[in-house]
Amino acid sequence: MSIVVAGARGQLGGELCRQLGDDAVGLDIDDLDLTDGPAVLATLQRLRLAAVINCAAYTQVDRAEAEFERCRAVNATAVEHLARACGELDCPLVQISTDYVFGGAGDSTGTVPVPADTMRSMVAKTGLSPSAGDARPLGFREDDPPAPQGVYATTKFEGERAAARHPKHLIVRTCGLYARPSDARAGNFVKTMLRLGGGGQPLRVVADQHCTPSYVPHVARAVLFLLRCETRPWGIYHVTNRGQTTWCEFAAEIFRLAGMDVRVQPITTAEYAAAAPRPAYSVLDTSAYHRLGGPPMPDWQAALAEYFAEWESLRTM
């Protein structure tokens, strides 16, 4: 039986199709308009389905502020249609979501805030007091209350709630995706830095947003594990590479591994002055996923090194 991958021409959708091989039925906007409920149901009824993985999303975060209805149609209404269809067909729905749902829980001063529930968990596990200098946040857990800010984050959270109405649902939150360098269609932070870094000018990069950029092949592998895992409970899982960094630190590591002499100047989120709000802190705790025994998620530095191993091999071909 086939697994439908919606958003098959995106970074994660494309990688999922690659890893699934002949088991994948990749659909994108040219194949199916997910905002058309009757068309969604009719298309899925024609296919012999094992599951649906929805990677389709409106991800133009700043443009979304001026295109609320379009963004909501893709990020929320389309998920309602998929959830309804999956309910009628009694097949699982995997909804890909985002760390941005925690955007309103951050601290714009540049400090690293810790959700109350996460801090209580950390104290219970380590014995460290909240004021201990060596106490490090574990990141947001699946049961920490979301606090989305901006149109993109709000509509993605609406999509989560729509998916959760279907009993057989998996909601996978992830962060800062970047695909294999061999994925020519993919646009992401790593490719943008490599392109801009070739200009010979210093680059100003935000240094007060704490997150975990994640390598798409690792995330796709984890998503498929969750879908196939017989012992999994339905619900929400956080899947990212391990550790935490800032976009400024991430950029510096990109240039180091690329062997590029680029001066990275740290700036604040306020100086960047984007139209849409960004999370100051959106590190995700992946403990629930790892407790199921899925393929380990390497730390973000190891993941980036894996990216550059392929990048280097492509350059020498």
Positions marked catalytic: 152
At 222, phi and psi to the nearest 5? Answer: -70, -40
Nearest to 15 by CA among 220, 240, 222, 191: 220
Q: What is the DSSP letter of 242?
A: B
- Quote the tokens at residue 28: 């994108």
How far is residue 284 CA from its own chain's centroid?
Answer: 10
Q: Which of 305, 223, 160 is nearest to 3 (CA)?
A: 223
Count CB-CB contacts under 10 A for residue 90.
Answer: 10
Structure-block tokens of residue 10: 């995106």
Nearest to 214 by CA among 245, 236, 235: 245
Provide the phi-psi class of 261: left if phi over 0, else alpha when psi is between -120 and 50, else beta: beta
Please give the structure tokens belonging to residue 44.
Answer: 């899925």
Note the residue count of the chain.
317
- Alpha carbon 83 to its chain centroid, in Å, reads 20
CA nearest to 114, candidates 247, 287, 299, 282: 282
d(CA 199, CA 144): 42
DSSP 194-218: HHHHTTSS-EEEE-S-EE--EEHHH
CA distance 194 to 259: 11
| H or E stretch at 131 | none
